[in-house]
Amino acid sequence: MTSTTAIGIDIGGTGIKGGVVDLTTGELVSDRVKLPTPHGGEPDAVVEVTREVLDRLTGGDPEDPVGVCFPAIVKGGRTLSAANVSKKWIGLKAEKKFEKALGRDIHFVNDADAAGFAETTFGAAKGVQGLVLLTTLGTGIGTALIYNGVLVPNAELGHIEINGHDAESRAAYSAKEREDLSWEKWADRLNVHYSRLEFLLSPDLFVIGGGVSKRWDEFAGLLKSNTKTVPATFRNNAGILGAAALAADDARTDRG
């Protein structure tokens, strides 16, 4: 029988979070397990904490598909970049490494793409025609492009250069915390980033997710974009949900 739940694990620069997801609604049906990302983000240490998160979650169905999302370009199961984790991830056969350590097949994907998939399937971007640009604002800035409901993977628009800086180093939520910026000062930086993305891509909708999206009310009024902008329906859980939903899709395709 096809499972109606799947497990999603979202590896971030700060925390590794996981949950069991109901695939019909996209809701979490377990407690959210969160452990700190090991300092330095070294592959072996990250894989070990991911195993711990999975162990804590698999009180549920051991047959559930497992999806893992990660803050890097992911192509053919390899991680091809490393912005807020160890450089050892670059070129690593990461999917295989996780599968070996976790003792099961997994679906492995970029974290912003997972969030974009969740919002398209269940949330703020569901049924939206045209171009949706989801950004996750957390330790870094992740971006997902969705055109007419189809995800275009591995957009890395958090790294465009703005005034000589990597955009995420100035406008990620971590920059607000690191520099102790007011909401107004931080929103000024976000507005520069979004207006550049608007000019480059003419999106129809911006969706804002990531760690800061739970504080949407504190900065929504400061955003000046001409493009309609909404918070991610699933806030910072979108990565978990999307990783789980993608893993379930994968499992169905393999069976069919």
The verdict on 211 binding ligand BGC (CB under 6 A) reads no
Residue (of 111, 140, 139, 142) closest to 207 by Cα position: 142
The verdict on 43 binding ligand BGC (CB under 6 A) reads no
Residue 171 or 251 having the CB closest to ligand BGC = 171
Which range, of 15-23, 107-115, 119-127, 221-229, touches ligand BGC by CB under 6 A? Answer: 107-115
Rounded to whole angstroms, the Cα distance separating 256 from 240 reads 25
Strand, coil or helix: 149: coil
The verdict on 112 binding ligand BGC (CB under 6 A) reads yes
Tell me the CB-side half-sphere exposure of residue 10, using CA atoms within 13 A.
Answer: 33
Residue 15 or 142 having the CB closest to ligand BGC = 142
Positive or negative CA dihedral for 160, 233, 105, 102?
positive
- What residues numbered 142-181 form the site for ligand BGC, per CB under 6 A? 142, 156, 158, 168
The verdict on 83 binding ligand BGC (CB under 6 A) reads yes
Candidates 30, 58, 84, 191: give the one binding ligand BGC (CB under 6 A): 84
Residue (of 129, 215, 113) closest to 173 by Cα position: 215
Candidates 23, 46, 72, 109: give the one binding ligand BGC (CB under 6 A): 72
The verdict on 71 binding ligand BGC (CB under 6 A) reads yes
The verdict on 111 binding ligand BGC (CB under 6 A) reads yes
Residue 110 or 233 having the CB closest to ligand BGC = 110
Residue (of 46, 69, 81, 76) closest to 166 by Cα position: 81
Strand, coil or helix: 93: coil
Q: What is the DSSP string of 179-212?
A: TT--HHHHHHHHHHHHHHHHHHH--SEEEEESGG
Candidates 81, 174, 233, 237: give the one binding ligand BGC (CB under 6 A): 81
CB of 205 to ligand BGC, least distance (A): 19
Strand partners, 150: 147
Which range, of 86-94, 136-144, 191-199, 212-220, touches ligand BGC by CB under 6 A? Answer: 136-144
Which range, of 23-31, 98-106, 135-143, 185-193, touches ligand BGC by CB under 6 A? Answer: 135-143
Q: 146: buried, middle or exposed (CB in 10 Å: 19+, 13-18, 0-12)?
A: buried
Q: Residues interacting with ligand BGC, by CB under 6 A? A: 71-73, 81, 83-84, 110-112, 136, 140, 142, 156, 158, 168
